[in-house]
Structure 1
């Protein structure tokens, strides 16, 4: 594709801006915003908690399948193709949710929207490798990864603006996703020959010729890779409970008004911007130390929500800590995956986030059933304890950059 001289595709503004906006649209809006609307969805469509959890799991199932397909598309074509398809999928899925008149169309839209980050997110690691110098890659990636927070942050004011007409907010989300897609059409690399500019190019290109199953068999012999993948699975299991049911928990116990619940959601998003510091923290302290303390913090945020009683301060503290540490830990797993798969970044990236999604696929349904048998408070307490297992799966050798 030809670009005017004045249009610098690999400028910091374009790389970070386009990447951040597509992450905000696919992760922050298409995937995680569902939890914000669970009370309204239950009311308007007359659904029980188990059904709401099943729809949430369907979203993660869509992401799971898409995450498998995305690295294959990168290897066969280019990073641009799955990123653009992901943006289009986000637009269509959220449009369906905004227009849904029954639970079937709602579930279809949520599932389709859930596919979008699985398509668009893994290729960003390849795109960053191709467009940016090595010394900027970790920093740019961490900032782009915080796009999830910006999406969650934007969803709150739009939900307040829409009020009872909550589907109007989803139509606005679809428009944002369309704008993100168009920007990425112009920015993302579409030809393999555009790849990097250092001595590792031949290794990277040979990795694309190696069958993906052979690459995975070779990598799984490495203890750090196994820890990466098991930790990613557990991280997905525990965090999706918060994303899907945190608003439901505080709504069910009448601890916050409807407006306060939206503000709670916005606080989660605003706090997540701090996750953009992941690259700087890894460079300064190493991934092992940062991941350990972030895991302790996110487990604490889940526990706090179960004992907050009527305390707005404690609920806000939970939102701040979870939002910041969730985005931070996803960035840490992204950096760790690229360091484990330097010859095939999108493959390692895709596999890591595939396993995060596999955990997120199972967890909402289990949590919904658990809430029917016990209470949502008990589900969150068990989840907080399980979260600590991530500390047992830290890297065998420290990581200081992508």
Structure 2
């Protein structure tokens, strides 16, 4: 009697997706939306204020309008996501951010500059949220490294800060004798954003065919969050926004008034960006271990203490 042939073993397909490289490429979205489109203005504020005779109120209003545009863009993004995939939104928003950054170098009147800052804020919100959604999709495939993957994405903000720190001061120095020499810095930053947009086509193409895992269920004992559960988190994040936007807007102007040289300002701003880049690794364990509001509370408390140190 012939022996029954044993069934062939089931071979699970090997996942060869380059998650870390995709997260790094996606982090260019955070570099464009926050590191450059929002924060680079702090480097340009002093020369623009001196050249255009702005008050500090008007100088601050530029980033206020940027934040207002960001709020509008953030509220509009869910509506946009129902009509197009996040990969397309990421690229479209980044392209628009590049355009608005470049247009800022063509105006000297306050009204069009305020409009450009608001439009750049709206487009950058679309970029950051769409990119964050894609980074979260990566994390859903790698639950044990989800904190690291998300940290890498948002750490891209530091890359944008470092690029701005290294690029803007030399351009301002080279164009110092030209009328409105700060415009060249806007144009250079626009080109950097455009290059980042081109580079993000690769993760967008890969993730367009890489859907989120299906059939996920809640773990036993886990709870479903309701809208009111986010009230305190939103309040904490709003407080964080009030602090960091004011700091990032005026810290370079403060350093210049204190007599810091261009080299010192470059080193300071680059160190700030490097710290943001390092944060993806430093805080990944905290984010992976605690899935509650504890990391937000701890980091806000740490930032509050750090903000007091220079005043002591």
- TM-score, length basis structure 1: 0.63
Bigger radius of gyration = 2
For residue 143 of structure 1, the aligned residue among 114, 132, 152 is 152
Alignment correspondent of 1:90: 97
**RMSD across aligned positions (CA):** 2.7
Q: Does residue 281 of structure 1 match 2:290?
A: no
- SS of residue in 2 equivalent to 1:199: coil
Q: Which residue of 1 aligns with 2:142?
A: 134
Count of residues in correspondence between the two structures: 282
How far residue 266 of structure 1 moved from its aligned partner, in angstroms, is 1.8
Which residue does 2:9 correspond to in 1?
Answer: none
- Give yes or no for contact 1:130–1:195 (8 Å, CA) kept in 2: yes
Q: Deviations over 1:26-59 (max 9, x none)?
A: 2100011111221111011110001111111011
Cα deviation for residue 220 of structure 1 reads 2.2
1:270 aligns with 2:277: no
Judged with a 3 Å threshold, the aligned counterparts in structure 2 of structure 1 residues 186 and 289 are, in CA distance, closer, same or farther, namely closer
Distance in 1 (alpha carbons) for counterparts of 2:81 and 2:39: 25
Please tell me whether residue 168 in structure 1 is matched to residue 176 in structure 2: no
Distance in 2 between residues matched to 1:285 and 1:69, nearest whole Å: 30
2:164 & 2:76 partners in 1: Cα distance?
28
1:20 and 2:36 equivalent? no
Counterpart for residue 334 of structure 1: none
Which shows bigger deviation, 191-200 or 232-241? 191-200
Q: Which residue pairs with 1:247 in the alignment?
A: 252
Corresponding residue for residue 264 of structure 2: 260
**Residues 193, 290 of structure 1: CA spacing in aligned structure 2 closer, same or farther, 3 A cutoff?**
closer
1:189-230 deviations in Å (ceiling 9; x for gaps): 6998852223128x9xxxxxxxxxxxxxx82243xx222122
Q: TM-score, normalising length from structure 2?
A: 0.80
3-state SS of 2:82 partner: helix
C-alpha distance in 2 between matches for 1:100 and 1:262: 26
Q: Secondary structure at the match of 2:37?
A: helix
1:180 aligned to 2:196? yes
Deviation at 1:274, TM superposition (A): 2.1
Q: Distance in 2 between matches of 1:288 and 1:281?
A: 11
Unaligned runs of 5+ in 2: 1-14, 219-224
